[in-house]
Amino acid sequence: MARYTESVCRICRRENLKLFLKGDRCYSDKCAYERRSYPPGQHGQGRKKFSDYGIQLREKQKVKRMYGLLERQFRFYFHKAERQKGVTGTNLLVLLERRLDNVVYRLGFANSRAQGRQLVRHNHFVVNGKRVNIPSYLIKENDTVEVKEKSRNIVPIAEAMEAVARRGVPQWLEIEKDKFKGTIKGYPARDELTMPIQEQLIVELYSK
């Protein structure tokens, strides 16, 4: 499957927003976006004027890259959200938050969603006592996500759990650090998703 292999710091600069794609590094002085908060390339510092379509496209690209998805995957989530009851934009964000790789990141078992995806792929987690190695697995209310006993001493997970205090754990999740276990108390409300996302622009883009 296709995947992005270049510097992820270029993505933050391109979207003009710190997307926290490199985990702990994004909180340090080494953050590339903090040093050069303009788009990459020789014309990056030039003044650009976007059309309405361009604004909508950039918003979609921002969210897609934030969660590390390809276009086909992202479009699948949009159509799934569209079929659900309620507000399509909010449904989309909730679906993305329910992905297992994102929940692992939100609970503090990984420093980034990309690292969470890799740890899930490598069979380091169990959901409700059963091994799950599919990053796109959608968690449900009252599910438990736990680090396998044999994996609790590996360095990336240990480092991530030390750093989680910096960003905190969302209210819709509950973590028991001593047991390396997290519980999904419910689905996130829109006001609990604090990243600056204008999901209505994505709905308008796909509704053309």
CATH number for the domain formed by residue range(s) 99-184 = 3.10.290.10
In a 3-state reduction of DSSP, which class is residue 69? coil
Among the CATH numbers 1.25.40.10, 1.10.1050.10, 3.40.1280.10, 3.30.40.230, which is that of 9-96? 1.10.1050.10
> Is the pLDDT score of 38 beyond 80?
no
SS3 7: coil
Ranges for all domains in the chain classified under CATH 1.10.1050.10: 9-96
Q: Which of 51-65, 67-81, 164-178 has the highest mean pLDDT?
A: 67-81
Which pTM does this prediction carry? 0.82
Q: Give the number of other CB atoms < 10 A from CB of residue 203.
A: 20
Summarize the confidence of residues 91-119 as an average pLDDT: 94
Of 120 and 10, the structure prediction assigns the larger pLDDT to 120
Dump pLDDT digits (tens) for 150-197. Answer: 999 999 898 888 877 777 889 999 999 999 999 999 999 999 888 888
Residue 72 has pLDDT above 50, yes or no: yes
**Contacts of 32 by beta carbon, 8 Å cutoff, 6+ apart:** 7, 9, 10, 12, 13
For residue 129, the tally of other CB atoms under 10 A from its CB is 7
